[in-house]
Amino acid sequence: MTFWSAGGSSSSQTCWVLGGGQFGRRAIEQLRTIDPACEIVVVDNRQILDLPKEIKVVCADGVAWFTENFTSAARVDAIVPALPIHLAADWLTRRFKSELGYVLPVPIPDAHLHHFPHPLRLSSSRLVTSHADFICPDNCPEPADICTYTKKQRPLSLDRLLATLVIGDFIPLILTSRQFAPGVGGFFPEDLWRLLEKFRAIPGTPALIGTACKCHGIVDGLCYNVE
């Protein structure tokens, strides 16, 4: 059985892993274990020479490469971000530069931080948030009801919680991080295309662009404007 639910057979599945560090390598190992026929492309700005020969390695900036190569004709079935960035937000920002528009960061006010579980600012417009105040196990399978660490009932899934936030004029546009393997999250291409269309439909309106699984997430305040 293939590890994703989108169409296609396991013999033709292709996964892009953006980042060849600790998290990228773990993703590669897990995906190859679950689906040995999966074609994996790893993108990293460093030369990586010690991966199995059947894995294609591209030496390039991950976001720049992704923005250039992620088109409607791209042969990719799943995307795993394994870089210390927010791929969805950074991709939208670069993507709109080619559409005669531009994206500006919008600060998320301190007064609204209490809406986010255990928030940690990365900048005035970007924060990470988590239901957990502990280090989760690497191989958490994200069970539906019970936390694997605390053995207690899970709170509302973080992606769903973020999608319901009412914060000033912000419109929440939240991308669910799908679990392709224990501890390995990512997206189908159609997930990102839907996000793009929703963001494009609200020019001039600040949005909370978020990516989250059941427990952890990252959120950017962004606004798209037409030149």
pLDDT at res. 7:
43
Sorted by where each starts, the structural domains of the chain and their CATH numbers stand as 1-85 (3.40.50.720), 86-227 (no CATH)
Close Cβ partners of 59 (under 8 Å, ≥ 6 residues apart) = 44, 45, 46, 47, 48
Residue type at 134?
F
DSSP state string for 80-126: EE-SSS-HHHHHHHHHHHTTTEEEEE----GGGGGGSSS-EESSSSE
Mode of pairing for the β-strands spanning 120-121 and 126-130: antiparallel
pLDDT at res. 223:
96
Q: Compute, in degrees rounded to 10, the torsion defined by CA atoms 43, 191, 12, 72.
A: -80
Q: What tens-digit pLDDT sequence spans the chain (227 residues)? A: 345 544 444 456 999 999 999 999 999 999 999 899 999 999 999 988 889 889 999 999 999 999 999 999 999 999 999 999 999 999 999 998 877 678 999 999 999 999 999 999 999 999 999 997 877 667 766 666 777 666 777 778 999 999 999 999 999 999 999 999 888 999 999 999 999 999 999 999 999 999 999 999 999 999 998 76
* Lookup result for tokens 């390995």: 184
The residues pairing with 78 across neighbouring beta strands, listed in sequence order, are 15
Question: What distance in Å separates the CA atoms of residue 202 and residue 225, rounded to the nearest whole number?
Answer: 9
Residue ranges of the alpha helices (H) in the chain?
22-34, 62-69, 87-97, 158-163, 189-200
pLDDT at res. 6:
45
C-alpha separations of 6 from 74, 110, 141, 144, 183 in Å: 15, 39, 19, 21, 19
pTM, entire model: 0.89
Question: What distance in Å separates the CA atoms of residue 166 and residue 175, rounded to the nearest whole number?
Answer: 17
Q: Which of 58, 15, 57, 7 is nearest to 35 (CA)?
A: 15
Residue type at 130?
S
pLDDT at res. 2:
46
pLDDT at res. 207:
98
